[in-house]
């Protein structure tokens, strides 16, 4: 393809349709990521979706995505796959495992559509129950991506249900005993089978990595954040409400030392 630089990172943070927030505080996530890159003296370019990815990957070593709606189409996916084969690294955060949602019947509910984007990232979002407090377990404490992280930490986040696409090639980094989907009947996304729940009936993968050619892809499901302007949660678990009132802002994972250490490690992993 083209020469991959050793000092440039491309950050994509945005919702769908263009300009929408997608229920997340995109400005906050973008700012925190850029602060981490500045902290390490790294150059950064930014985008809101994958439309012009072909312009920015040449000369880029690490791609970081925090999106709610945008995803790679098949042609863009091929560009990213060639870049990964050549040594690029992709860090996908939170909603990066989502993408296209198709309406089911004549109602308002939708079903997530699996595409080549998910095959490359290695994870496919099925649904998430209400935001809740839960414990995250670090399962590969000796991996560079989990260096200096505690054995476990607590957060308030969306408990993502992620189907791992290449389990035999994938190293799990983070898990949580979230159990079966407890969404209220008729809420969330439609799916036929919970293919994200592991064999023990309680554990879900929340972070993992895999090599692709000379490069690789890492995905971390944690990282929900919303502000009063971007609050779009229909339900929040009672354990994060105050006197029955839904919080107007949530940034708990981003305020966690463990999550920030994970992001620093991921940047170091991506930059080689």
The CATH number given to whatever domain includes residue 46 is 3.40.50.880
Whether 1 maps to a domain, the answer reads no
pLDDT, the chain, mean: 93
Whether 45 maps to a domain, the answer reads yes
What range defines the domain where residue 47 resides?
8-271
Whether 3 maps to a domain, the answer reads no
Whether 19 maps to a domain, the answer reads yes
Q: Best-predicted range by mean pLDDT among 102-106, 180-184, 264-268?
A: 264-268
Is residue 230 scored above 80 in pLDDT?
Answer: no
Is residue 46 scored above 50 in pLDDT?
Answer: yes
Whole-angstrom Cα Rg for the chain: 18
Is residue 144 scored above 60 in pLDDT?
Answer: yes
Mean pLDDT on 34-40: 97
Render pLDDT for 12-25 as a digit per residue (tens, 0 to 9).
Answer: 999 999 988 899 99
Q: How many domains does the chain have?
A: 1
Whether 2 maps to a domain, the answer reads no
pLDDT value of position 248: 79
Mean pLDDT on 129-156: 96
Lowest-pLDDT range, 83-87, 101-105, 134-138, 173-177?
101-105
Mean pLDDT on 144-167: 97
Whether 37 maps to a domain, the answer reads yes
The structure's pTM equals 0.94
Is residue 242 scored above 60 in pLDDT?
Answer: no
């Amino acid at each position: 393809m083209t020469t991959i630089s050793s000092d440039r990172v491309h950050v994509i943070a945005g919702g769908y349709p263009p300009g929408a927030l997608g229920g997340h505080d995109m400005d906050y996530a973008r700012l925190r990521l850029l602060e981490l890159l500045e902290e390490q003296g790294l150059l950064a370019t930014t985008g809101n979706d994958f439309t012009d990815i072909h312009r920015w990957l040449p000369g880029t070593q690490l791609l970081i995505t925090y999106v709610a709606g945008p995803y790679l189409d098949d042609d863009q996916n091929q560009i990213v796959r060639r870049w990964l084969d050549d040594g690029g690294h992709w860090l996908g955060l939170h909603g990066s495992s989502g993408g296209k949602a198709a309406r089911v019947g004549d109602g308002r509910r939708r079903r997530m559509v699996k595409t080549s984007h998910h095959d490359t990232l290695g994870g496919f979002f099925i649904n998430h129950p209400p935001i809740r407090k839960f414990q995250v377990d670090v399962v590969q404490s000796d991996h560079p991506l989990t260096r200096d992280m505690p054995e476990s930490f607590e957060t308030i986040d969306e408990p993502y249900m992620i189907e791992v696409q290449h389990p035999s090639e994938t190293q799990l980094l983070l898990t949580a005993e979230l159990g079966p989907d407890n969404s209220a009947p008729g809420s969330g996304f439609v799916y036929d089978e919970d293919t994200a729940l592991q064999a023990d009936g309680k554990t879900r993968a929340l972070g993992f990595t895999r090599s692709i050619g000379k490069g690789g892809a890492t995905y971390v499901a944690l990282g929900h954040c919303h502000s009063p302007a971007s609050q779009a949660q229909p339900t929040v678990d009672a354990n994060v409400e105050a006197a029955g009132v839904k919080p107007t802002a949530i940034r708990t994972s981003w305020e966690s030392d463990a999550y920030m250490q994970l992001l620093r490690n991921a940047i170091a992993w991506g930059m080689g």
